[in-house]
Structure 1
Amino acid sequence: MNFCRLTHQRKITWRNRGSTEFTQGQKQQLHEQWQKEFTGDTNHLNINSETMSQQEREKFWQVLQDEWEEMAKEDKLNEHPWLSEFNTSSFEPFKDYMFEEDNPLKDHPDPLKEGKRCLEAGDLPSAVLLFEAAAQQSPKNPEAWLLLGATHAENEQDPAAISALRRCVELDKANCTAWMALATSYTNESYQTLACESLKEWVRSNPEYSHLVPKDEGAHRKPKVMASTLAPRELIQEVQDLYIAAANQRPNQNIDADVQCGLGVLFNLTGEYEKAVDCFQSAISVRPKDAKLWNKLGATLANSERSEAAIDAYRNALEVSPGFIRCRYNLGISCINLGAHREAMEHFLEALNMQEAGRGLAGKKSTKAVSDNIWATLRVCLSSLSAIHLMDAVEKRDLTRLNEEYGIGKST
């Protein structure tokens, strides 16, 4: 729901990554699910476009899956916990937040205020550096961790977002904003159980709806940080019932946008996209200037094979928030779904240029600002354009050469 991850779509980004540990049958199941859900935004992807043949679709997704596996093998296991997920019955994903090793803004006199200014201006990488500085200067400030996590999510970096948001709710267990953001990022990373638990915590933490959660459950509950990816159907139904009950407490003329957003996430988990679309549209009717809601709507429309409508939703999001990198990436994905690969390349390059431009006030790059996810998808898009001569530029991450090739100027 790459929101995207809706994630990816993390990254809305609905994202599902493969593992070499899978049995052959599981690999086939993964391949089928990959075609339906790949990133993004609780992203956004469904490549079943009428403009592409079945052979083209299969080739595209197979190459993209191979890229993910190759990239994952090159990274450390603790940075990509899905690699070890299938070797154990449970695991604790994204436990610790990893700070920038050489943050040029770590000594800024008011990083929280300046970070908010950069976030408002659409400079997400600089905002990340500043919110990291704020969290290091005041490690028990939940607002710093909330803003850090939310900014990472907008920057197509759900794993880092989850680590920061988890720290926020550890400090402030009743932070409804953080719980809802966690649910989206967990969905983008395909951790359905944790997404459902986060949505339930949102209800429990909200004074208006907390009575809907059984009191005896709250008295004996323990934090659930160990979980597999796929949520039991009964758990999803349980949480859906909570949100439906919450929605029924409000008359139609007094819609709670957050309740509708939670329902939209849940209906995405069960593949009930039309219901999810209705929920996000209801939420937008209350908050028409909420770029994240427009992005979630776009990702859901894309998942339901309505890429043209998804593009309209993404453009509405970008009108509100031009620096919304995840949404820019999702827009590129929908262009791929429609066979418009050159337009997709332009959007991917715009997203990477925005990330590259965020160097912080001291003029240094962040080593974590640029999304590997975007580069991997861009590489596959180049293959579809038969631009093999540019593959070395992708390997070197030479944006200057790619920008020149496609006539794109860097963001400043």
Structure 2
Amino acid sequence: MSRGELTMDDNQVRQTATSSGDWATEYQQQYNAGPSWADEFTSRGTDRWVNEFTSGEEKRGSVDDQWVNEFSNLHLDEEWADEFGRQVGEGAADSWANAYDEYLNEQVAAKQRSDASRGVYVFSDMNPYVGHPNPLKEGQEMFRKGLLSEAVLALEAEVLKNPENAEGWRLLGIAHAENDDDQQAIAAMMRAQDANPTNLEVLLALGVSHTNELEQAAALKYLYGWLRHHPKYGSLAPPELADSLYYADVARIFNEAAQMSPEDADVHIVLGVLYNLSREFDKAIDAFQTALKLKPHDYSLWNKLGATQANSIQSADAILAYQQALDLKPNYVRAWANMGISYANQGMHEDSIRYYVRALTMNPKADNAWQYLRISLSCADRSDMLEACDSRNLDILQKEFPL
């Protein structure tokens, strides 16, 4: 998590629907209190939400039934309910439900496509940094400045030039995680692990990204791997346990590690991620707050805390945590998107739109943010802007929703 996100390292969050995001899909996670925070061990994305929401499809029945069950769990204020009642009277409920149902079906199809290509890194078509004399140094500098999309291009040029450069792949994975793309982050980190199987930062980042994707088995595998290969805690992790990992065993061992070294922020961070996996959000919040006392300037850790608070239906507190992350790193795309989700979860859709637009100006490829933006536009009765959203016309959207 030190740079993984729980939508969470690096940790995305999800709008009122998370969550992979980071810190889960946080859109559904935040409503479901039930995470992909995974800066963000940080919704946060639709793929994570769909993975969890549709995992019991055969047991729960049709998509319509799933929607009814999910809708019944939402935390809605009276003003929103009154407005929805007026819309029902005007005959708008059916069209909204149909649009939402269509959205769910699109996400199911997208999830199936992503599963088929899991672990395959997709390079950019046009890359001006190919042929650059030192693309790694250029990528590191871009990353330091918060120019994540440019950093991705430079780092892609580096790993094309040096395919076995574990640090190039690792930093590329972090850049994707912070840019709210856990699928590419996982693919890059897997290549980093191939090049350096015992790199602790890589193992931790993979654990965070899989947490964001709501993939508990994979998350436990990498988090336990982090413990096994750690020079201080390796003796706590018997190798034979790796063949049949259970959450309770892994959590117990990490608690032992925390008692052994209470001053080690990374152990508390991993505990926070583990508690997100088990939906023990109060414990996760405590773990991240303990880690922040040790690493108060870790922007990705603030994002993880915010994503967890959002999952725990504490959106107002989450906004304060996200703001801390943005104060430390203003170009942190995942935190901007997570901020939008928290405003949307409070019914403040006009505000959420502005934050989504800001995130998208920094990364127009953030598909999850486009989906969240469209939902908020509909909820804010701004159907006049849906065409601009569908055509991804940021010029119009920025002019209409400045921040």
Shorter-normalised TM range: 0.7 to 0.9
Structure 2 SS opposite 1:261: helix
- Is 1:22 the counterpart of 2:49? The answer is no
- Is 1:121 the counterpart of 2:121? The answer is no
- Is 1:2 the counterpart of 2:13? The answer is no
Note if contact 1:140-1:171 (Cα within 8 Å) is conserved in structure 2.
yes
Q: Distance in 1 between matches of 2:69 and 2:257?
A: 31
Distance verdict in 2 for CA 1:401–1:308, change over 3 Å:
same
What is the RMSD computed on CA atoms of the aligned residues? 2.9
- Is 1:13 the counterpart of 2:46? The answer is no
Q: Distance in 2 between matches of 1:62 and 1:286?
A: 48
Distance verdict in 2 for CA 1:25–1:19, change over 3 Å:
closer
Of the candidates 105, 108, 128, which is equivalent to residue 69 of structure 1?
105
Structure 1 SS opposite 2:49: coil
Note if contact 1:128-1:151 (Cα within 8 Å) is conserved in structure 2.
yes
**Residues 264-309 of structure 1, C-alpha deviations (whole Å, 9 max, x = no match):** 1111111111100000001111111101100010011111111111
Letter of the 2:103 counterpart: E
- Is 1:182 the counterpart of 2:206? The answer is yes
**Corresponding residue for 2:134?**
110
Question: Structure 1-normalised TM-score?
Answer: 0.79
Note if contact 2:23-2:307 (Cα within 8 Å) is conserved in structure 1.
yes
Q: Distance in 1 between matches of 2:282 and 2:111?
A: 39
Q: Please state which structure has a larger fraction of its residues in helix.
A: 2
Q: Distance in 2 between matches of 1:123 and 1:332?
A: 20
Q: Distance in 1 between matches of 2:55 and 2:267?
A: 38
Letter of the 1:323 counterpart: N
**Corresponding residue for 1:382?**
377
Distance verdict in 2 for CA 1:216–1:392, change over 3 Å:
closer
**Corresponding residue for 2:298?**
290
Of the candidates 94, 102, 107, which is equivalent to residue 118 of structure 2?
94
Note if contact 2:121-2:188 (Cα within 8 Å) is conserved in structure 1.
yes
Letter of the 1:16 counterpart: W
Number of aligned positions between the proteins: 357
Alignment of 1:244-255 (within 5 A): 244-251=255-262, 255=263
Note if contact 2:140-2:151 (Cα within 8 Å) is conserved in structure 1.
yes
Shift in Å at residue 48 of structure 1? 2.4
* Identity within the alignment, %: 33
Q: Distance in 1 between matches of 2:82 and 2:188?
A: 40
**Corresponding residue for 1:242?**
253
Which segments of 5 or more consecutive residues in structure 1 lack a partner in the other structure? 37-45, 85-92, 222-231, 357-369
Deviating more after overlay: 170-179 vs 152-161: 170-179
Shift in Å at residue 141 of structure 1? 0.8
Q: Distance in 2 between matches of 1:210 and 1:70?
A: 44
Distance verdict in 2 for CA 1:105–1:61, change over 3 Å:
farther
Letter of the 2:330 counterpart: P
**Residues 136-186 of structure 1, C-alpha deviations (whole Å, 9 max, x = no match):** 111111000100001100000000000000111111111111111111111
Which segments of 5 or more consecutive residues in structure 2 lack a partner in the other structure? 1-5, 13-21, 27-35, 86-92
Structure 2 SS opposite 1:278: helix
Of the candidates 259, 262, 273, which is equivalent to residue 270 of structure 2?
262
Note if contact 1:64-1:376 (Cα within 8 Å) is conserved in structure 2.
no
Note if contact 1:2-1:8 (Cα within 8 Å) is conserved in structure 2.
yes
